């Protein structure tokens, strides 16, 4: 029963279904395919709002570096595909995704790509 909290900037995209994935640091008990995910914004505040309840379609190891995204079975390293990947995760473009991850986690980033 994993809870996943989203910043306000991503909440509407999660709610309306345009964001169907998230990239997270790997948890002590990693999310697994088939898990029921409870997607929220504002957790641990008075304004907490449940956005959706979904089933995890897949959970993959991911590494994000300046010029590529490495997944277990593929490496994305063409700008066109990196742009599409960033948009699928709710960012305006690849540069915005890189900037956010560098500021928030540092690069390179290793974690989990969670799809629903």
In three-state secondary structure terms, 28 is coil
Go through the domains of the chain in sequence order and give each one's CATH number: 3-115 (2.30.130)
Q: Which tens digits make up the pLDDT trace of 37-54?
A: 999 999 999 999 999 999
> How many DSSP H helices and E strands does the chain contain?
3, 8
Q: Which tens digits make up the pLDDT trace of 1-22?
A: 899 999 999 999 999 999 999 9
Residues 23-47, mean pLDDT to the nearest whole number: 97
Q: Is the pLDDT of residue 29 over 90?
A: yes
């Amino acid at each position: 029963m994993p809870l996943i909290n989203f910043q306000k900037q991503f909440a509407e995209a999660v709610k309306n279904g345009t964001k169907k994935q998230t990239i997270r640091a790997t948890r002590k008990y990693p999310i697994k395919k088939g898990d029921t995910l409870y997607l929220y914004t504002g957790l641990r505040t008075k304004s907490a709002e449940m956005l959706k309840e979904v089933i995890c379609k897949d959970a993959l190891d991911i590494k994000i570096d300046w010029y590529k995204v490495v997944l277990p079975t593929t490496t994305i390293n063409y700008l066109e595909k990196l742009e599409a990947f960033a948009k699928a995760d709710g960012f305006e473009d690849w540069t915005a995704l890189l900037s956010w991850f560098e500021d928030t986690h540092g690069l390179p980033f290793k974690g989990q790509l969670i799809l629903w």
